[in-house]
Structure 1
Amino acid sequence: MDAPSGAGPRTVTCGSPGTAEPTAAGRSARAPTAPWARFSAWLECVCVVTFDLELGQALELVYPSDFQLTDKEKGSICYLSFPDSHSGCLGDTQFSFRMRQCGGQRSPWHSEDRRYNSGAPVALQSLVLVSRLPFVRLFQSLLSLIAPEYFDKLAPCLEAVCNEIDQWPAPVPGQTLNLPVMGVVIQAHIPSRVDKPEPSPLKQCDQNLLPAPVVLASVHELDLFRCFRPVLTHVQMLWELMLLGEPLLVLAPSPDVSSELVLALTSCLQPLKFCCDFRPYFTIHDSEFKEFTTRTQAPPNVVLGVTNPFFIKTLQHWPHVLRVGEPKMSGDLPKQVKLKKPSRLKTLDTKPGLYTAYTAHLHRDKALLKRLLKGVQKKRPGDLQSALLRRHLLELTQSFIFPLEHYMASLMPLQKNITPWKTPPQIRPFRQEDFLRSLEHSGPQLTCILKGDWLGLYRRFFKSPHFDGWYRQRHREMAHKLEALHLEALCEADIETWMKDKSEVEVVDLVLKLREKLVRAQGHQLPVKAVTLQRVQLYIEMAIGSLPKDLQAVLCPP
């Protein structure tokens, strides 16, 4: 199963299986070079959960054994690792859930996360993989290998697998890695923000690998077409709801359908980061149940995947509810769920449908639906159907974001106004009305054929968590760029001439400022060339060398 990741939730994959993300207090504070350091770059831990008819769910095993889970986390893993009794799951099943991190500060064990995040693009007996990474496809493949062997050979198998994972290279964005486990080599490309939208097929890293590697087309992308089959006619409206961060309840017949549909919905906004909470699989036993179901305040910005019809009655005050039925196994396009008013929501016997009073701002792309339907009729492979759907959503998001990016870039100070001896000019404020006026000449109509109320969509987007998340990220990137440009301006200045008529206090102040800028450039990974950083260090040494010996001793203690 998958549970939430990060400082909030983590992603968890479970088999009876599923995938989850870890808690902030997850690991005991060990040095990054300690045993299991490489293992922790991929997984927090592997859990075995058993079900006893008298005692209920119990956490039987956690590996590595010294991984520290809080009681709240243990409870979440136990309850979320088993399908709800209403789902009627039989036999093997695999799904994802997210759970909230508990505890205080992140331990040094996770200190290498920044390296990944800086390059990553802006998810009877149960075996559970807990991870901070949203690599659902990879963990599903890993779980399908581990679970059958574990249920046959138990703990020794689990220990051997964890030791193998502890030898894997770190997940560095942009790299294609070979990951050996249980006699199989999984070849996976770690996504990078500089990847093209549709990367070329993976190249084998080592042609001498034996056996031939199992090549994953993606470590995180699901079969989008399969997930959206029953709601294809509403994909564009669902995209708008995701873009606006609207609360959405997804009621599915099983945890695997629930988790995949929620994960598919949250992936609709790529390359825009999904900034709201989402729970691929959620039950009444979750520790956040009361928080999400209270009627004393507006519904939270969360996409909630459930299987228990009880939620239909409990969350009738939510503005959007999507109920889907059992998936069809035939090649035909299943009956599409109908758009219904929230007032049609009944109790436990509510029929499949999208219950919402929301009116889409953009007109439906009928040509896309025709192409997908034609693909079904001609038995076009599912991966090609998914690629078609993913490209459509990507282009739609890019068309929406491009005018925002264009306007944001216009707020950046001109490079000619950045001088070495003055504080860099500030980024101008984002004025919504100015942006809306700019749409006449640089709006989404330049790149998207869809008609509709784009202005109305932007106005609602400004109130969503996704605008706030996008703006904060872009503003931070631009501020870092400003710092980098100012540092380069300093390096191009004639510091030696500048120092000739300056007092010792001014020179010391220059040394301290250059040191501060050097630390920030390295700590914040500013877009500065290595030669620039070397020149800054040289200028620091030059400035210190021009000072009296006693000041040199203070600035450069032995």
Structure 2
Amino acid sequence: MTLLLLGPVTDPQGLQSIFYPGKSVIYPQHSKLTDKEKTNICYLSFPDSNSGCLGDTQFCFRFRQSSGRRVSLHCLLDHYDKDLPVYLKSLVLISKLPYIHFFHTVLKQIAPEYFEKSEPYLEAACNDVDRWPAPVPGKTLHLPIMGVVMKVRIPTCHDKPGTTQIAQLTQQADTHISVILPTVHEVDLFRCFCPVFLHSQMLWELVLLGEPLVVMAPSPSESSETVLALVNCISPLKYFSDFRPYFTIHDSEFKEYTTRTQAPPSVILGVTNPFFAKTLQHWPHIIRIGDLKPAGEIPKQVKVKKLKNLKTLDSKPGVYTSYKPYLNRDEEIIKQLQKGVQQKRPSEAQSVILRRYFLELTQSFIIPLERYVASLMPLQKSISPWKSPPQLRQFLPEEFMKTLEKTGPQLTSRIKGDWIGLYRHFLKSPNFDGWFKTRRKEMTQKLEALHLEALCEEDLLLWTQKHTEVETVDLVLKLKNKLLQADRERLPVKPDTMEKLRTHIDAIILALPEDLQGILLKTGMT
């Protein structure tokens, strides 16, 4: 097994460098992994012995970093068998960037050659990757890798399915480009939802509410793709709970996730071992799928069944749950997808339709929340340069519920049902907690930025003439802290605001006695 670690984008070297448990290699060689992380990777890097997986296969997995380390890693695995038995070869790429489709493509380029030419080829590939620029949102990149140039565009939060930016990427002719990727992170949504698209809206609700969910699949590939499709179906809302595209009985969190002494955690697990059918019987929602069909083929639609029917290891495919959806099923999207199948519409086009449907559904749900949270923002006229920035108003669930009568999702969605009940459930979920914390942080930073801009509009030099030297020095220190905060937290300030504030600070310091100027300058105040 070989591990290729891609470092954080802030690392100018890009790559960090591979490890040796037994017959393994790690690039870059100065990368650090704990024994627990190495063990998890070793077990996750091969299909379960119960999977009917033969030949080349690709899948992805996630694992939790050991305590004391910051963000969770996203791992992508590419496994090639070539002339050797399956269990002898595997190439794993580890990254903190969730660019699933892009990394799969990278591994398709380098893995076959690596298995023939060994470490020197991988070192050369790493040198290419080392020179890649940082992945700036909205920017189109040309990335060379072992004689091949890949053209990709890093997505932004404003992108929508089938947007002109993506279309332009594929239409522009470049003679030196070998591979053009319309997406770096999206999976084939329709292929993954194909067996269950009659229930796609119910699954959207389960993911939105952060419900414990298990995907039982015949292989790691089907497992990981389905889990990723579920997580992506609530975009642009971020899924804030844990999710494991491929999970095994050897995972260090196995006991934590399978204990019956407490309610199942808010996590989506993708599994292949039939043992989980028994171990996870107490979980409230289980999706059991068969082999995913190639594009253009539609498997028999699975049915919703009671959990009590999932008792044997050879249970039939189905959605095993007692969950009753809050919203009525949208028959229009089902008819549209069924018509696409009959007309042999390409899977990519079907995925765009389904992705757009999920996007509109999520936006209809989230817009009333965004509107209410925006009302918690203090008025700009209440911001005084000489007082601390005002606080956001408290989020009051019942106050929010009252706004739904006039500004609820019925304004943008044709779907009927118990929207109020869905909101009440959502407000108790990890996804709401994560979303609101993010919005609160953004709004607090906006208040800080407005406060900074209000300070810049004041005649601060005139103010110092009416105050003591002690008060003036205190002002300089506070202004400098504002600058540091703006830089550290990347506050959304206008481009000229920072420079204007530095000019104010310089002018105030120059107006002070020389001894104070020296002290402030020596302490790095300007």
If the length of structure 2 is used for normalisation, what is the TM-score? 0.92
- What's the secondary structure of 2:399's corresponding residue? helix
Is 2:410 the partner of 1:441? no
Distance 1:20 1:197, change over 3 A: farther
Is 2:226 the partner of 1:261? yes
C-alpha deviations, 1:354-403, integer Å up to 9, x for none? 11111000011111000000000001111110000000000000000000
Q: How many angstroms does 1:458 deviate by? A: 0.4
Is 2:379 the partner of 1:414? yes
Moved more, 240-249 or 212-221: 212-221
Q: Runs of 5+ in structure 2 lacking a partner? A: 74-86
In the aligned structure 1, how far is the partner of 2:498 from the partner of 2:393?
Answer: 28
In the aligned structure 2, how far is the partner of 1:48 from the partner of 1:151?
Answer: 17
- In the TM superposition, 1:387-426 aligns within 5 A as 387-426=352-391
In the aligned structure 2, how far is the partner of 1:233 from the partner of 1:67?
Answer: 46
Equivalent of residue 494 in structure 1, options 456, 459, 462? 459
Distance 1:400 1:67, change over 3 A: same
Distance 1:179 1:68, change over 3 A: same
Q: How many angstroms does 1:105 deviate by? A: 4.2
Q: Which amino acid aligns with 2:178?
A: P
Q: How many angstroms does 1:209 deviate by? A: 5.8
Coordinate RMSD, CA, aligned:
2.4
The aligned counterpart of 2:141 is 177
- What's the secondary structure of 2:24's corresponding residue? strand
Equivalent of residue 100 in structure 1, options 64, 70, 76? 64
- In the TM superposition, 1:72-471 aligns within 5 A as 72-106=36-70, 124=87, 125-200=89-164, 201=166, 203=168, 211-329=176-294, 331-471=296-436
Q: How many angstroms does 1:156 deviate by? A: 1.3
In the aligned structure 2, how far is the partner of 1:345 from the partner of 1:534?
Answer: 65
In the aligned structure 1, how far is the partner of 2:171 from the partner of 2:194?
Answer: 38
C-alpha deviations, 1:404-444, integer Å up to 9, x for none? 00000001000111121122211100000000000001100
Contact 2:191 2:295 in 1 (8 A): no
Contact 1:20 1:132 in 2 (8 A): no
Distance 1:235 1:146, change over 3 A: same
Q: How many angstroms does 1:171 deviate by? A: 1.2
In the aligned structure 2, how far is the partner of 1:324 from the partner of 1:208?
Answer: 40
Pick 1 or 2: higher relative contact order, CA cutoff 8 A, min separation 6. 1
In the aligned structure 1, how far is the partner of 2:184 from the partner of 2:297?
Answer: 28
Contact 1:20 1:96 in 2 (8 A): no
The aligned counterpart of 2:83 is none
Contact 1:21 1:132 in 2 (8 A): no
In the aligned structure 2, how far is the partner of 1:296 from the partner of 1:216?
Answer: 46
Q: How many angstroms does 1:347 deviate by? A: 2.4
If the length of structure 1 is used for normalisation, what is the TM-score? 0.87
Q: Which amino acid aligns with 2:189?
A: L
In the aligned structure 1, how far is the partner of 2:491 from the partner of 2:250?
Answer: 44
Q: How many angstroms does 1:549 deviate by? A: 2.0
- What's the secondary structure of 1:96's corresponding residue? strand
The aligned counterpart of 2:503 is 538
Q: How many angstroms does 1:550 deviate by? A: 2.1
In the aligned structure 2, how far is the partner of 1:240 from the partner of 1:303?
Answer: 13
Is 2:2 the partner of 1:38? no
- What's the secondary structure of 1:225's corresponding residue? helix
In the aligned structure 1, how far is the partner of 2:520 from the partner of 2:170?
Answer: 48
Q: How many angstroms does 1:191 deviate by? A: 1.3
- What's the secondary structure of 1:322's corresponding residue? strand
Q: Runs of 5+ in structure 1 lacking a partner? A: 1-13, 50-57, 111-123
Q: Which amino acid aligns with 2:451?
A: H
Q: Which amino acid aligns with 2:193?
A: F
Contact 1:47 1:59 in 2 (8 A): no
Q: How many angstroms does 1:46 deviate by? A: 6.1
Matched positions, count: 506
Q: How many angstroms does 1:152 deviate by? A: 1.3
Q: Which amino acid aligns with 2:112?
A: P
Distance 1:505 1:303, change over 3 A: same
Contact 1:340 1:356 in 2 (8 A): yes
In the aligned structure 2, how far is the partner of 1:277 from the partner of 1:232?
Answer: 24
Contact 1:249 1:321 in 2 (8 A): yes
Q: How many angstroms does 1:466 deviate by? A: 0.5
C-alpha deviations, 1:268-320, integer Å up to 9, x for none? 11111110100000110111111111111111111000001110100111111
In the aligned structure 1, how far is the partner of 2:380 from the partner of 2:195?
Answer: 51
The aligned counterpart of 1:3 is none
